[in-house]
């Protein structure tokens, strides 16, 4: 035929006529009675509609396809479709105020618009219409569309990294990544009893010299009305250490002021002070910011998301410009450079681990993947971060669709806080070395990484570090509520007992103080008393004098130590030999002042300290008992 046929009615008509002709023709009919002969083959037609059910994320368009089919039609045959025929249907659902009438061509697709409300929708009354009349209904006549609220469910979690994790992830840092809290610890040292050693010197009287007398200058008497009452300094309110570094210059001293009984006024003694300034440094917190993405499509929906990536956006600082030095957060620096701000979202592969070569980059319904970002916290506070997620959704009738989403989270930067416990000897001796223990307790809920305690050697007063270059102690990691202890070796410039202490520090540092029993060389308990030697000892060179005085101080501590306090291998001796050796030092000073060669002076003093008079004890001490005690003194001192 030269024009389109109406197959839908003509097929039915021909079928009826064919069966009438076959059943109603007389048996005697033959070929001579036929005007014409034509073989008519009938094929069934159907309108197939797909898919019967589909799942679509909200706000994403989709399609429903129609196919006009004749299953038995030979492959070379073609169905002629009238141009005015169309397929119509009605879309209903919770997001539509009124049913939506849709139409398409035969073998075309219904364009389902993006639906903004989740729920179950139906495309009903699918049919072919020509000239306003229904020609054929679809199979099925209606299909369903399930619109889901979310395709991707996201969650952002942050966690502060430990020191081991920082090293494991290859994070690198320098001094700019550290912060520090300043502190100044001060110990008030009360001098002990002064033990004066006299050295009588007999000199020939020089003729012609006249005695010179000088008037004694005294402080004039103060009237009661002019006095201001000064409260006594209470040890635990000592403020001597509360001085800002480096404007601190404290020298150890003690005033002795004459008492004025007439006015009833007594000035309290000003103690010596040991001041130890320093700081406690720690690395900025580094965070693992983990994005978790889950495919929330129902099982069986066939919706798979692949090639997912996430890009993190960090907040700006006070200058409102991202990427400057005042930003509260920054991407961490690693051995490979700056940690990427765009990461793939992957799930574990066959090995069950993330971050390996077999990770998979697609998420089927019900599966989840992760992306990790390494971030440095530069400033305390809660800082909001955002992530933009991009991927490809496959499984929709319309084909692959680009999907995008955003997720937001926060990073809480909270610097650690510390309590410093200073364990200091209860007694110090000038020139004597001792150990200062500092226990650092992390009193916060944040980990403290790469902590360092730094003392300022140039600003320490009343003592000094034995090795000025050995002023830093490092601790790799202190967990929340945990602590670590470091020690420093100092040499005191003052002698006395510690009776008060205070700490001046930043707000994040608190202080405690503990005193420990002081022991010197050979584990001999120290004495707070001071030996006041004759002035002639000051004539010796300083190094020689200091060595002699230090030895006398240790000997005095041993002589005055409580019973049972001496180590087993240290013999007890009396204080008399200390006085004798102090006189030997004064004699050496006098000889040196009278121009004796230094080598001779030092050699004779060494012999005196070594007990060169041991063989002359009988001559010096005729009494056997006194001689026995002196012999024990020589042995113990040696």
What is the model's pLDDT at position 471?
A: 92
pLDDT at 147 over 50: yes
DSSP 271: P
Last residue of a domain, one of 496, 522, 548: 522
Looking at the DSSP assignment, which residues form a beta bridge with residue 300?
Answer: none
Contact 176, 235 (CB under 8 A): no
Number of domains in the chain: 4
Residue 93 C-alpha from the chain's centroid: 53
For residues 77 and 101, membership in a common domain is answered with yes
Structural domain containing residue 626: 533-637
What is the model's pLDDT at position 390?
A: 96
Per residue in 305-322, pLDDT (tens digit) is 999 999 999 999 999 898
93 domain residue, yes or no: yes
Average pLDDT on 409-423 reads 91
DSSP 575: T
Q: What percent of the chain has pLDDT over 70?
A: 71
For residues 408 and 298, membership in a common domain is answered with yes
Q: What share of the chain is helix, strand, coil (3-state, %, to 5)?
A: 20, 40, 45
Last residue of a domain, one of 413, 437, 462: 413
For residues 244 and 255, membership in a common domain is answered with yes
Per residue in 67-85, pLDDT (tens digit) is 988 766 666 666 677 888 9
For residues 318 and 407, membership in a common domain is answered with yes
Sign of CA dihedral 505, 507, 509, 514: positive
Q: Which CATH number goes with the domain that contains 394?
A: 2.60.40
For residues 391 and 517, membership in a common domain is answered with no
Last residue of a domain, one of 391, 413, 435: 413
609 CB-near residues (< 8 Å, 6+ apart): 548, 551, 581, 584, 637
Per residue in 336-353, pLDDT (tens digit) is 999 999 999 999 999 988
The number of residues making up the chain comes to 638
276 domain residue, yes or no: yes
pLDDT at 570 over 70: no
For residues 275 and 322, membership in a common domain is answered with no
Q: DSSP letters of 141-165?
A: S-EEEEEES-SEEEEEEEEEPPHHH
Per residue in 521-537, pLDDT (tens digit) is 554 555 555 556 677 77
Rounded Cα–Cα distance for residues 352 and 247 (Å): 60
For residues 436 and 510, membership in a common domain is answered with yes
pLDDT at 12 over 50: no
pLDDT at 253 over 50: no
For residues 12 and 144, membership in a common domain is answered with yes
Per residue in 486-523, pLDDT (tens digit) is 999 998 888 777 777 888 888 888 887 776 654 555 54
Per residue in 77-126, pLDDT (tens digit) is 666 778 889 999 999 999 999 999 999 999 999 999 999 999 999 999 99
pTM above 0.85, yes or no: no
Show the DSSP H helices in 340-435 as ranges.
Answer: none
What is the model's pLDDT at position 343?
A: 95
For residues 12 and 141, membership in a common domain is answered with yes
320 domain residue, yes or no: yes
For residues 110 and 15, membership in a common domain is answered with yes
Average pLDDT on 450-462 reads 90
616 domain residue, yes or no: yes
For residues 277 and 421, membership in a common domain is answered with yes
Q: Which of 350-359, 411-420, 544-553 shows the lowest mean pLDDT across its residues?
A: 544-553
């Amino acid at each position: 035929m030269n024009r389109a046929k109406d197959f839908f009615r003509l097929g039915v008509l021909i079928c009826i006529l064919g069966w009438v002709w076959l059943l109603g023709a007389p048996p005697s009919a033959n070929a001579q009675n036929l005007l014409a002969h034509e073989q008519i083959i009938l094929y069934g037609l159907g309108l197939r509609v797909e898919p019967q059910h589909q799942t679509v994320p909200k706000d994403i368009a989709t399609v429903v396809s129609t196919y006009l089919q004749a299953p038995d039609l030979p492959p070379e045959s073609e169905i002629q479709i009238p141009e005015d025929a169309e397929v119509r249907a009605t879309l209903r659902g919770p997001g539509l105020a009124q049913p939506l009438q849709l139409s398409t061509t035969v073998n075309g697709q219904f364009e389902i618009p993006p639906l903004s409300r989740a729920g179950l929708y139906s495309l009903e009354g699918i049919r072919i219409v020509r000239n306003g009349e229904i020609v054929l209904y679809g199979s099925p006549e209606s299909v369903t569309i399930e619109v889901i609220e979310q395709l991707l469910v996201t969650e952002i979690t942050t966690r502060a990294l430990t020191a081991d994790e920082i090293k494991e992830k290859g994070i690198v840092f320098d001094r700019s990544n550290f912060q520090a809290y300043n502190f100044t610890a001060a110990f008030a040292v009360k001098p002990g009893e002064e033990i004066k050693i006299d050295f009588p010197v007999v000199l020939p009287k020089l003729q012609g010299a006249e005695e010179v007398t000088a008037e004694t200058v005294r402080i004039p008497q103060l009237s009661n009305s002019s006095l201001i009452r000064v409260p006594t300094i209470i040890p635990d309110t000592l403020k001597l250490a509360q001085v800002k570094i480096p404007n601190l210059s404290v020298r150890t001293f003690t005033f002795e002021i004459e008492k004025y009984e007439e006015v009833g006024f007594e000035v309290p003694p000003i103690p010596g002070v040991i001041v130890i300034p320093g700081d406690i440094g720690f690395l900025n917190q580094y965070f693992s910011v983990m994005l978790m993405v889950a495919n929330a499509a129902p099982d069986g929906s066939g919706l798979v998301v692949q090639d997912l990536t996430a890009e993190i956006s960090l907040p700006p600082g006070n200058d409102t410009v991202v990427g400057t030095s005042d930003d509260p957060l920054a991407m961490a620096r690693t051995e490979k450079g700056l940690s990427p701000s765009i990461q793939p979202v992957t799930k574990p592969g066959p090995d069950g681990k993330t971050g390996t070569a077999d990770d998979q980059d697609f998420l089927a319904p019900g599966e989840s993947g992760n992306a990790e970002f390494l971030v440095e916290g530069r400033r305390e506070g809660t800082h909001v971060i955002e992530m933009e997620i991009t991927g490809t959704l496959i499984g929709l009738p319309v084909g692959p669709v680009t999907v995008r989403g955003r997720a937001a989270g926060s990073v809480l930067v909270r610097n650690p806080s510390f309590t410093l416990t200073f364990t200091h000897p209860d007694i110090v001796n000038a020139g004597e070395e001792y150990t200062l223990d500092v226990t650092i307790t992390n009193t916060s809920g944040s980990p403290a990484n790469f902590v360092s305690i730094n003392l300022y050697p140039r600003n320490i007063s009343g003592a000094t570090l034995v090795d000025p270059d050995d002023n830093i102690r490092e601790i790799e990691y202190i967990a929340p509520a945990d602590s670590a202890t470091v020690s420093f070796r100092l040499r005191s410039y003052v002698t006395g007992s510690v009776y008060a202490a205070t700490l001046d520090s930043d707000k994040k540092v608190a202080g405690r103080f503990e005193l420990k029993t002081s022991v010197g060389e050979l584990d001999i308990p120290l004495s707070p008393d001071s030996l006041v030697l004759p002035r002639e000892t000051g004539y010796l060179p300083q190094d020689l004098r200091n060595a002699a005085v230090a030895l006398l101080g240790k000997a005095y501590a041993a002589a005055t130590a409580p019973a049972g306090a001496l180590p087993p291998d240290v013999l007890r001796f009396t204080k008399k030999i200390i006085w004798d050796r102090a006189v030997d030092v004064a004699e050496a000073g006098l000889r040196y002042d009278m121009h004796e060669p230094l080598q001779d002076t030092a050699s004779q003093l060494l012999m005196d300290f070594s007990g060169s008079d041991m063989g002359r004890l009988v001559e010096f001490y005729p009494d056997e008992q006194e001689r026995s005690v002196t012999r024990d003194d020589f042995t113990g001192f040696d």
